[in-house]
A = this chain, B = another copy of it.
Amino acid sequence: MVSFENDYNTGAHPEVLRRLMETNLEPQTGYGADRWCASAAEKIRLACQSPEADVEFLVGGTQTNAVVIASLLRDWEGVVAADTGHVAAHEAGAIEYTGHKVLTLPQHDGKLSAEELEAYLDAFHADANREHMVWPGMVYISHPTELGTLYTKAELTAISGVCRKHGIPLYLDGARLACGLLCASAELTLPDLAELCDAFYIGGTKCGALCGEAVVFPRHGRPAHFTNAVKKRGALLAKGRLLGVQFDALFTDDLYFRIGRHEADMAEKLKSIFRDRGIPLWLESPTNQQFVELEDRQMEKLGEKIAFSFWEKTDETHTVVRFVTGWSTTEEDLTALEAALEELR
């Protein structure tokens, strides 16, 4: 079945797989001390124009969020996130498991508002009860958000400014960053993130890797004894090379960006297909997650031919579903979707 279920439903991009094969027999030291991790880190520093960045590789997104957040927060602090933020909603309590609270603010198209963030921080620091409360110790945002939306450069600059004024780090979850950087309306670049954030991760899993996320700490910002922190949380890979080789491939010949562009292009075509058929987009997403509202009968019939995922019921007879493009989405997939949609008429 043709699948738009998500952007991790196939394996690795062929160039990534090829590099794994080519390097397979090289003996390399374990736990991330191999030459491919070093090489990939250097390429990422270059791509970020951030020669003083520390770059670390972890296996998955929730793991990355938990390790980075637990390492950046101090004992009395929690992490501020939009109430739709992945750390707030869909990580099974992984942040709380580290002993820290997720402090939520309302989302606006999946995003935090700099103004509301500042008002919240100001109110917190004016609160006489703050010794009985969890201190906001860092800010988490996702870009693209869980709804596929993007921060503008002005928005991210404003949030970064609020964080710096209050002396707390800004951390950006880039699980789907490639598409967020390469879509038509993208304003932000890797160097922008390196300048405006204190930590961010470049998602590999949803961009053609078998697994892997690259965490960037600009300005030598890696927490002390980070390898111990990673090991303590069961996140240290013996064959760290697996992550190094893949990210080295992704940051060779712009593969990472080519995949992001491909995801975005496919998503634009997807949007046209829906628009042309009068199927309403539930929200305006410029990236590879697209949400459309279907009649339940349509949804069921379409589901026989095409895989997508349930998002939420909007009324008795309508449902929002999500279509996602990935590195392996093809023109044939789109054609199959068109054919299936024709049958709904």
Contact = CB atoms under 8 A, between A and B. Distances in A.
Given A238-B8, A239-B205, A239-B211, A78 B62 contact: no
A291 to B, nearest CB: 15
Interface in A60-101: 60-67, 70-71, 74-76, 78, 89-94, 96-97, 99-101
B74 A93 contact: no
A332 to B, nearest CB: 12
Interface stretch (A38-46, A166-174, A225-233, A273-281): A225-233
A224 B74 contact: yes
B30 A11 contact: no
Give chain A's interface residue range (CB within 8 Å of chain B): 35 or more
A24 B12 CA distance: 7
A27 B10 contact: yes
Contacts of A99: 93, 96-97, 99
Q: Which of A6, A94, A228, A242 has the most CB atoms of chain B within a 10 A radius of its CB?
A: A228
Given A129-B90, A307-B27, A67 B232 contact: no
Interface string A296-322: 000000000001011000000000000
Interface string A4-29: 01101111101001001101111111
Contact of A92 (B8, B20, B59, B231): B231
